[in-house]
Amino acid sequence: MFDRIARRYDLLNRLLSAGTDVRWRRACVDLLELGPPARVLDVATGTADLLVEALRRDANHRGVGVDLSEQMLRRGAAKLRRRRLDTRARLAAGDAEALPLPSASFDVATIGFGIRNVGNPLAALAEIRRVLRPGGRLAVLEFSQPPGWRGAIYRRYFQDVLPRIGGLVSGDAGAYAYLPASVARFPAPEDFASLMQRAGFTAVRWRLLTGGIACLHHGERPA
Ligand SMILES: C[S@@+](CC[C@H](N)C(=O)[O-])C[C@H]1O[C@@H](n2cnc3c(N)ncnc32)[C@H](O)[C@@H]1O
């Protein structure tokens, strides 16, 4: 599915969130308070937007992005070249549940709008914990479901309007119908925090972004 929508993925992100996704990714990287030089892993990197956001903060940061989708990675690689970040970053095909990376090799990890798509999120979290060094930190950015009457208005947009625009622009109606359905199935923030703890993370905390449209979780691999 992600191979099919890769061509219009970035455009649709900007369009459907009215540019807010850029601010969310900034908040995600801010949360990690990267001290230079940091070794950054971005899981389910897609077109590498989170990796770019992390690497542009300091010329000494280095990073790896992992994703299952060849077409998303192809676009991510082109983006890294355009931003002259390709000397400090590497993209690799791989599954979040079995990362093709050595243990304890990263200072920080991110996963943005990715964990919801993974077959076994607990296995993916455990893998991310494995490749982080002791004391290393993880930031998880994911959609959430805003509460209250504002949430009801937003759900209207998310379930009815967004799939139509997404389907028209991407040419793949199924992919943009999948988006609200997968968000509805995803655990509430407190339940996802418990899952992170089960995967062995400590210092687990979370906060809602933009009234609860998105949520940012933090966790640490114990020293
Ligand atoms: C919605 S995109 C998010 C991309 C990017 N992180 C961003 O912030 O825009 C979800 C990505 O997760 C990837 N993905 C889904 N399941 C995966 C898995 N098991 N392992 C690695 N990547 C996966 C998809 O290929 C897709 O590129």
Q: What is the DSSP string of 123-176?
A: HHHHHHHHHEEEEEEEEEEEE----HHHHHHHHHIIIIIHHHHHHHHHS-HHHH
d(CA 38, CA 109): 10
Residue 130 has pLDDT above 90, yes or no: yes
| Residue range 10-17: mean pLDDT, rounded | 89
> Ligand 1 within 6 A of 95 CB?
yes
Buried/exposed code over 35-58 (b: 16+ C-beta within 10 A; e: otherwise): eeebbbbbbbbbbbbbbbbbbebe
pLDDT at position 109: 98
Delimit the domains of the chain by residue range.
2-220
Question: What's the gap in Å between 114 CA and the centre of ligand 1?
Answer: 4
**For residue 221, is pLDDT > 90?**
yes
Mean pLDDT for the stretch of residues 152-178: 88
- Spatial separation of the C-alpha atoms in residues 50 and 52, rounded to whole Å: 5
> Is the pLDDT score of 17 beyond 90?
no
Strand order in the sheet with 132-143: 89-93, 62-67, 39-43, 106-112, 132-143, 214-220, 202-209
| Residue 203, pLDDT above cutoff 90 | yes
Residue 49 beta carbon below 6 angstroms from any ligand 1 atom: yes
How does strand 62-67 pair with strand 39-43? parallel
Type of residue found at 185:
R
95 forms bridges with which residues in the sheet? 98
In this prediction, residue 28 has a pLDDT band, given cuts at 50, 70 and 90, of very high
pLDDT computed for residue 178 by the predictor: 86
Percent of the chain with pLDDT over 70: 100
pTM (global) more than 0.85? yes
The rounded Å distance from CA 44 to ligand 1 centre is 4
What is the Cα–Cα distance from 48 to 64, expressed in whole angstroms?
9
With a 6 A CB cut-off, is 114 part of the ligand 1 pocket? Answer: yes
d(CA 41, ligand 1 centre) in Å: 13
pLDDT value at position 95? 98
| Residue ID of nearest Cα to ligand 1 atom 26 | 46
pLDDT at residue 70, rounded to an integer: 97
Ligand 1 pocket: which of 15, 49, 113 to mutate (most atoms within 8 A of CB): 113
Cα 23 to Cα 12, 29, 49, 131, 186, distances in angstroms: 15, 10, 11, 27, 22
Cα–ligand 1 centroid distance for 117 (angstroms): 7
When pLDDT is cut at 50, 70 and 90, the band that residue 101 belongs to is very high
The domain made up of 2-220 has a fold known as Rossmann fold (3.40.50)
Mean pLDDT of 109-119: 97
Mutate which of 12, 68, 215 for ligand 1 pocket (most atoms within 8 A of beta carbon): 68
